[in-house]
Amino acid sequence: MEGEGIFEVHDKKHFEECVIKSSSPVVVSFLADNETCKKILPRVEQVLEENKGKISMAKIDVNECKDLSEEYGIKTAPVLEIYKDGSIFDSLPGLHDLDEIRSFVKNSIGN
């Protein structure tokens, strides 16, 4: 699902433009082509839909963007990170249920 507020990042320059320089919080989803990532992605997209206009999501394929993943210390996928004001605000590695992802996101946007 590529929709409003959801975009793919393919390199460091795009990451800096869309995540680091963003004026609103961004969930960065470090993903791979595995079953765990396939399970978590629809949950994250649902939470974003529930918070439309308050937060966006950058999807990063850890295999495609190895240099970016290494630079930010990502060793496994999935990892969800929230960036606010150009810095990492919170991190949530591994598979989580819908309520855990909701809490993670709501904590970053103050709801």
Cβ contact 46:100 at 8 Å: no
User: Model confidence over 41-94: pLDDT tens digits?
Assistant: 999 999 999 999 899 999 999 999 999 999 999 999 999 999 999 999 999 999
| Percent of the chain scoring above 90 in pLDDT | 89
CATH of 6-106, one of 3.90.340.10, 3.40.30.10, 3.90.1170.30, 3.30.930.10: 3.40.30.10
Q: To 10 degrees, the CA torsion angle through 40, 64, 19, 52?
A: -30
Cis geometry, peptide bond prior to residue 25 (ω within 30 degrees of 0): no
Q: Which pair of structure tokens corresponds to residue 68? A: 């970016």
pLDDT of residue 1: 39
